[in-house]
Amino acid sequence: MGKIKNIKQSYKIKAPAGKVWQALVDPKVIAKWGGGPAKMSEKAGTAFKIWGGEIFGKNTKVMKEKELIQEWSENGWEKPSEVIFKLVARKNQTEVILTHKNIPDKKAADIFQGWKDYYLGPMKEYLENNADNL
């Protein structure tokens, strides 16, 4: 097994924490920003799948509109990584602080860019243009 990497990123989204939370845990909203088909809930201990099962795992800790901690895996990973979404509500925006731990070294660069291109980047864009419609 190669080295293990950790990623930390921050996104400021012009939307209330409740809408950002919805975009993390509601399969209908996940599909709208591009992570579907998804199976997701906001209950600790429940399994999830996004992108039709390309990414899968389970919710390990849930603090509604504040923090979501998940075990994340892709096919072929020896053990799951850990993803932490921390939401910090500010005046007219929500900061999402992402920490992704225990990523297999050979996947780290792709995953670092993937958060921007396929997950939190598109989620931010979708919410900033459509949050009022959720």
Q: What is the pLDDT of residue 33?
A: 97
What is the helix, strand, coil percentage profile of the chain, to 5? 35, 40, 25
pTM: 0.94
Q: What is the pLDDT of residue 2?
A: 53
Number of structural domains (the chain) is 1
Strands (E), the chain: 4-13, 47-50, 55-63, 67-74, 81-89, 94-104
Full residue range of the structural domain in which residue 27 is found: 4-133
- What is the full per-residue pLDDT of the chain (134 aa) written as tens digits? 456 689 999 999 999 999 999 999 999 999 999 999 999 999 999 999 999 999 999 999 999 999 999 999 998 888 999 999 999 999 889 999 999 999 988 889 999 999 999 999 999 999 999 977 77
Parallel/antiparallel/unpaired status of strands 4-13 and 81-89: unpaired
The CATH number covering residue 68 comes to 3.30.530.20
Q: What is the pLDDT of residue 76?
A: 86
Residues 6+ apart with CB under 8 A from 25: 40, 41, 42, 68
Nearest Cα neighbor of 128 from 42, 20, 25, 6 is: 20
